[in-house]
Structure 1
Amino acid sequence: MSVFACNTSQEVNGVSWLHGKVSQEMFSSIWKGYFPEENHVGYVTNGVHFPTWSATEWKKLYGKYFDENFLQDQSNPNIWKAIYDVPDDEIWNTRMTMKKKLVDYIRKQFRDTWLKNQGDPSRIVSLMDKINPNALLIGFGRRFATYKRAHLLFTDLDRLSKIVNNPDYPVQFLFTGKAHPNDGAGQGLIKRIIEISRRPEFLGKIIFLENYDMQLARRLVSGVDIWLNTPTRPLEASGTSGEKALMNGVVNFSVLDGWWLEGYREGAGWALTDKRTYQNQEHQDQLDAATIYSILETEILPLYYARNKKGYSEGWVKVVKNSIAQIAPHYTMKRQLDDYYSKFYNKQAKRFRSLAANDNAKAKAIAAWKEEVVSKWDSIEIVSSDKVEAFENGDIESGKDYTITYVIDEKGLDDAVGLEMVTTYTTPDGKQHVYSVDPFSVIKKEGTQYTFQAVCSLSNAGSFKYAFRMYPKNPDLPHRQDFCYVRWFV
Structure 2
Amino acid sequence: SGLVWDQLGPYLSQVGISFDRFMDLGRQRPGDPRERLCTTYAALRLADQSVGVSRLHGAVSRRLWKDAWRGLPETQVPIGSVTNGVHMPTWVAPEIAGLLSRYVGPDWWDLDPADGRWHAVHEIPAADLWAVHGELKRRLFAFTDERAETPRELDLNALTIGFGRRFAPYKRANLLLRDRARLAKLLRNSKRPVQILFAGKSHPADQPGKDIVAGIVGMAREEPRVVFLKDYDIALARHLVQGTDVWLNNPRRFLEASGTSGMKAGANGALNVSILDGWWDEAYRPELGWAIPSGATLDRQDIDDVAEAEGLYRLLEREVVPAFYDRDEAGIPRRWVEMMKASIRNVATQFAARRMVIDYFNTAYGPGARRVEQLRLLPDWGG
- TM-score scaled by structure 1? 0.68
Change (3 A) 1:328 1:265: farther
- Partners of 1:289 and 1:346 lie apart in 2 by 44
Structure 2: 5+ residue stretches without partners: 1-38
The question of whether the paired residues in 1 share the 8 Å contact of 2:294 and 2:308 is answered with: no
- Partners of 2:110 and 2:99 lie apart in 1 by 17
Deviation, 1:279, is 4.0
- Partners of 2:116 and 2:351 lie apart in 1 by 14
The question of whether the paired residues in 1 share the 8 Å contact of 2:294 and 2:304 is answered with: no
Aligned to 1:329: 349
Structure 1 counterpart of 2:306, from 286, 295, 299: 286
Change (3 A) 1:281 1:331: same
Helix, strand or coil: the match of 1:198? helix
Higher RCO, 1 vs 2 (CA within 8 Å, ≥6 residues apart)? 2
Deviation, 1:273, is 3.4
Deviation, 1:198, is 1.1
Aligned to 2:89: 51
TM-align CA RMSD: 1.8
- Partners of 2:195 and 2:117 lie apart in 1 by 34
Amino acid paired to 1:155: R
Aligned to 1:128: 152
Change (3 A) 1:277 1:9: closer
The question of whether the paired residues in 1 share the 8 Å contact of 2:85 and 2:353 is answered with: yes
Deviation, 1:35, is 2.1
- Partners of 1:83 and 1:322 lie apart in 2 by 8
Structure 1 counterpart of 2:375, from 355, 364, 372: 355
- Partners of 1:82 and 1:90 lie apart in 2 by 14
Helix, strand or coil: the match of 2:152? helix
The question of whether the paired residues in 2 share the 8 Å contact of 1:16 and 1:44 is answered with: yes
Deviation, 1:7, is 2.0
The question of whether the paired residues in 2 share the 8 Å contact of 1:74 and 1:332 is answered with: no
Aligned to 1:179: 202
Aligned to 2:116: 78
Deviations for 1:108-142, whole angstroms, at most 9, x for unmatched residues? Answer: x236xx4xxxxxxxxx5xx432x122211101111
Q: Is 1:163 the counterpart of 2:186 in the alignment?
A: yes
The question of whether the paired residues in 1 share the 8 Å contact of 2:294 and 2:307 is answered with: no
Change (3 A) 1:360 1:229: farther
The question of whether the paired residues in 2 share the 8 Å contact of 1:264 and 1:327 is answered with: no
Deviations for 1:244-289, whole angstroms, at most 9, x for unmatched residues? Answer: 1111111100000100000001121000235327842212211111
- Partners of 1:340 and 1:309 lie apart in 2 by 48
Aligned to 1:380: none
- Partners of 2:309 and 2:77 lie apart in 1 by 36
The question of whether the paired residues in 1 share the 8 Å contact of 2:88 and 2:348 is answered with: no
- TM-score scaled by structure 2? 0.86
Q: Is 1:24 the counterpart of 2:24 in the alignment?
A: no
Structure 2 counterpart of 1:137, from 156, 160, 184: 160
Deviation, 1:180, is 1.1
Helix, strand or coil: the match of 2:373? helix
Change (3 A) 1:358 1:267: closer
Deviations for 1:283-324, whole angstroms, at most 9, x for unmatched residues? Answer: 221111111111111111111111211111111111111222
Aligned to 1:437: none
Q: Which has the higher strand share?
A: 1
Larger radius of gyration, structure 1 or 2?
A: 1
The question of whether the paired residues in 2 share the 8 Å contact of 1:77 and 1:329 is answered with: no
Question: Would you say how many aligned residue pairs link Structure 1 and Structure 2?
Answer: 345
Structure 1: 5+ residue stretches without partners: 115-123, 366-490
Helix, strand or coil: the match of 2:273? strand
Helix, strand or coil: the match of 1:180? coil
Helix, strand or coil: the match of 2:196? strand
The question of whether the paired residues in 1 share the 8 Å contact of 2:161 and 2:194 is answered with: yes
Deviation, 1:328, is 3.2
The question of whether the paired residues in 1 share the 8 Å contact of 2:267 and 2:347 is answered with: no
Deviations for 1:368-400, whole angstroms, at most 9, x for unmatched residues? Answer: xxxxxxxxxxxxxxxxxxxxxxxxxxxxxxxxx
Helix, strand or coil: the match of 1:90? helix
Aligned to 2:275: 255
Helix, strand or coil: the match of 1:353? helix
Amino acid paired to 1:183: D
Q: Is 1:148 the counterpart of 2:197 in the alignment?
A: no
Structure 2 counterpart of 1:87, from 106, 122, 125: 125
The question of whether the paired residues in 1 share the 8 Å contact of 2:295 and 2:304 is answered with: no
Helix, strand or coil: the match of 2:195? strand
Q: Is 1:230 the counterpart of 2:243 in the alignment?
A: no
Q: Which has the higher helix share?
A: 2
1:186-197 equivalence runs, <5 A = 186-197=209-220
Aligned to 2:221: 198
